[in-house]
Chains A and B, each alone.
Chain A
Amino acid sequence: MSEPMSLLQKKLEAGHFVVCSELGPPIGANVEFIKKKAQKLVGYVDGVNVTDNQTAIVRMSSIVAAHFAKEEGLEMIIQATTRDRNRIGLQSDILGASSLGLNNVLCLTGDHQSFGMDPGSKNVFDLDSVQLIRAVHDMVHNGVLLNGKEMKVPPRMFIGAAANPFGDPFEMQMMKVEKKIEAGAQFIQTQAIYNLEKFEYWMEEVRKRGIHEKVYIMAGILPAKSVKALRMMKTDVAGMDVPDSLIERMEKCEDPEEEGVRVAIEIIERVRKVEGVRGIHLMPVGWEKITPEIIERAGLYPRPEVE
């Protein structure tokens, strides 16, 4: 194993249960917005993903927003989707991000543009996520670009992939995970988990295949603050599995925000016990300020330091 590319990789290799969260860049050029959001997370997380035009909506670039958040003292994970850029643009961005000291990347295909506000735009999908993972792997570990050109100073990246434990058919989704690892993925962040039985079954299959020994798996947690948010995820978000029992529970409760936090903590406590889960990835979409509270109440504060 070569030396760690990033602080996040170091913490995982040291055996720490890591906590990642997410930061959505603004629709606009507001740097202060990012800095303020970032400051609230300092000390609470081991890494922060910055989404790349998530749900196909134009936002500040993931790399640029990550750069400003890093200046506030956070370890950043950039996201790169193959929807908007071809192999030339993607590799160029990897070089740029590494040069800025952004050394973690989550490689994604990306939501189809029909989800966003520009359904009439042309998509790219020159590469798929597996090909992007391999391209980044070859850049980092072999010092070559996709076209074979060698670099004197290769980028440094800890390479991540997404996985959806709730996608079907199950076997096909699992094969794709294996392909991502074969291509060079070193960590996995999963789709948001609400259906714990299904997630535990997925992890069982992951362990059977030895996947958990090849990559660090972070369980996706999406705290929801209202029953409306849960319903929306169930019907409108691609690849989500939200059990009706959870919707009922949120309906009946008196304080949905408090209940949302409790649910998130319960899920965290349960996934922590699952063999092979090496961390969590919090994605409080539209509710980022709740992150520190959840981390504290889940007993995950303070975060470990590594040399």
Chain B
Amino acid sequence: MTTYIERTEKQKISDQRAAAIRLKNNRLGMNIFQVSWIMAFIALIVVNWQLRFNYSQWPPAGVPPFDLILPSVATLALLISSVLVVQALKVLRRGFPMAFLVKWRLAIGLGALFMAIIVYEFLNVSDAAMATQYGNTFRLMTGFHFVHALAILAIMCRVYQGAKLGKYSGDEHDSWAVEGAAKLWYFVTFAWMLFYLVLYWIR
């Protein structure tokens, strides 16, 4: 009986502890989601990889390789946007909500620039490329990534609206929405880096 009595004398989990568990759960859940869903992107890389073997060279004969400049600019924009998100989260934690808003807004802007360039690239795949899997897999991968980037950018915009209304303090327990959106944006960035390498560099 001793342990029972000892244990019942302890108080129930306080609200603070419950909030800590919630945050711990959210963080672990997000990490698992990131590791899990990146597998869908890896699946598409496998698709790209396997279909390459149907051709003697990659890009296939007669198909000009994709231009590197614009996509590289887009990639740089996305990377800077992710760095800004890291900084935004930091300044929010330190209690500078205005600085947070500036950085977050800039990150959204660069994210939108990235997406605009990718849409342009998607729409301007040459007919020669589209006649082969070189173009097909390009549209598959950029399109799949775009859908995710769009949804997550929308979440970032929601967070921005909330932050403007002062919904998030620097306390990590009540700014999970910001942290969650940031982690989703890192996911978008990481997934794109994989695609960028496979689509443009590994030949």
**A and B pair up:** no
Q: Report which A residues bind B (CB closer than 8 A).
A: none
